[in-house]
Amino acid sequence: MNVVDLLFGDLASLLSNAIIVVIVALMFVISLRLFLDRRKKGYMSMTISLVIVGIHYLLQLYLTLSGIDTSLTAYMLLMLKIISFILINMGIYQLYNRTNRKQYIFFYGLMIMGIVVSILHFSVPNMYNGTHEQVRLLQDIGLELYVFVLIFLCFYTIPPYIGQQVKYQMALTVYFFIQSVHLVNAYMYGNVQPLLSIAANVLPIIYYFLLFMLLFERVVELMQAIYNSSITDGLTRLYNRKFFYNRVAQYVGRHLPVYILFSDIDNFKKLNDTQGHQMGDDVLKQVALIMKEEAEECGIAGRYGGEEMVVMVTDPSVKMDAFAERVRSRIEKETIVTASIGYSKYKNGLSAEELIKQADEAMYRAKTSGKNKVVKYAQ
């Protein structure tokens, strides 16, 4: 083995194909696992397309090793490339969107169009009496150019509907260069131009690596979304009661000086009864946003239940009386409701449950002594 073989020869092509097979195999495992867990069409399309890509490159490896090179095998590899390309892009679209009849017609229509264009492969030998090499090149020119049509269609139609648009468009740009390099090398240099041969071996690796990163980051997005949904309230997007309590317990367990603010929207049941639950939900969101904004620099905010919202202030420099009054004032000024607020401070020996209960008791005193006020817990 020498450097020339490693960069330009069949060995370089074998190495490139082998690396791609490994990347595709990793993508297949991820996609299949996601499909088995979530039963989503996008993962099914991605899994099927990766199987076809794997077959394509394994077949290419076999043909290179066996030395078989006919017009029929070239046609089979090209059709596998086109079908897998369409299915991969359909799978990427389905990762972010529900697929209706219109989208199915679009993607399967692209496959049917590829089959129609492939008729040229079988008709050229009867229409043109050139050399064997010239006939082979003309047989596949229709499908080769059709790949460019697919690239441009996917580049301009799919990105607005998916996340990771930049990474996706980068992958398509790399694929455009793959196809361009292939055509120039095959039709102008007879596949012997050294630099183009290097590019033909390296660019596909970059393309499939970008697809792998796109799929991997989508998995991370889904995991993050699942985690967020498990710790936050669906309506207000504040932390839910369980997560909030666990965080308080962590700070109390380390004997850190924290405050708990406990708020309750005044006359909330009357609001629901007179103006409807939609108005009630809107008010909850508004109050939650105020809580979240005020807690952002100094602690965390949560929804404890119903119209009750809580804040744990972890910054010891915060003046809690002023903080609580600012929250109360903003609710009164920025919404159509008021809130009764109580707060308590951690002291050695208190449990998380007792600390929260003290703030709750202070809030109850505020509510029973006139509402729309702040009360500090006092024994």
Q: What residue has token string 């919404």?
A: 335
Task: Decide if 79 contacts 118 (C-beta within 8 A).
Answer: yes
Q: What is the percentage of the chain residues whose pLDDT exceeds 90?
A: 42
- Band of the pLDDT at 69, cuts 50, 70, 90? low
Q: Picking from 114-128, 139-153, 278-292, 331-345, which range would have the lowest pLDDT averaged per residue?
A: 114-128
What does the block give as tokens for 35? 């499909």
Cut 0.75: pTM above it: no
DSSP string, 257-324: --EEEEEEETTHHHHHHHH-HHHHHHHHHHHHHHHHHHHTTTEEEEEEETTEEEEEE--TTS-HHHHH
349 CB burial (10 A radius; 0-12, 13-18, 19+):
exposed
- Give per-residue pLDDT as tens, 249-282: 999 999 999 999 999 999 998 988 888 889 999 9
Whole-number Å distance between alpha carbons of 356 and 354? 5
Cα(235)–Cα(284) distance, integer angstroms: 8
Q: In the chain, which residue ranges form alpha helices assigned H by DSSP?
A: 3-7, 10-38, 41-66, 71-96, 101-117, 119-127, 132-157, 165-188, 194-231, 241-253, 268-275, 277-295, 320-334, 352-368
* Structure token pair of residue 329: 């004032």
Look at residue 368 in the predicted model and tell me its pLDDT: 92
- Listed residue (328, 316, 319) closest to 262, CA to CA: 328
What is the structure's pLDDT at 300? 93
Is the pLDDT at 335 greater than 70? The verdict is: yes
Q: Confidence band (pLDDT; 50, 70, 90) for 372?
A: very high
pLDDT at 134: 60
| Stretch among 67-76, 113-122, 333-342 having the lowest mean pLDDT | 67-76
pLDDT surpassing 70 at residue 179? yes
Measured CA to CA, the distance from residue 240 to residue 216 in angstroms comes to 28
Least confident of 133-142, 206-215, 267-276, 299-308: 133-142
- Rounded Cα distance between 59 and 178, Å, is 19
Model confidence at 126, pLDDT cuts 50, 70, 90, reads low
Confidence of residue 333 (pLDDT cuts 50, 70, 90): very high
Tell me what pLDDT residue 34 has: 79
Full set of structural domains in the chain with CATH: 3-231 (1.20.1070), 241-376 (3.30.70.270)
Q: What's the rounded Cα separation, in Å, for the pair 315 and 311?
A: 12
Query: What's the pLDDT at 48?
Result: 85
For all residues of the chain together, what is the average pLDDT?
86
Residue 244 has pLDDT above 90, yes or no: yes
Instruction: List pLDDT tens digits, range 7-49.
Output: 555 677 778 888 888 898 998 888 888 788 777 776 787 788 8
Sign of CA dihedral 43, 48, 54, 57: negative
CA separation for the pair 26, 121 (Å, rounded): 34
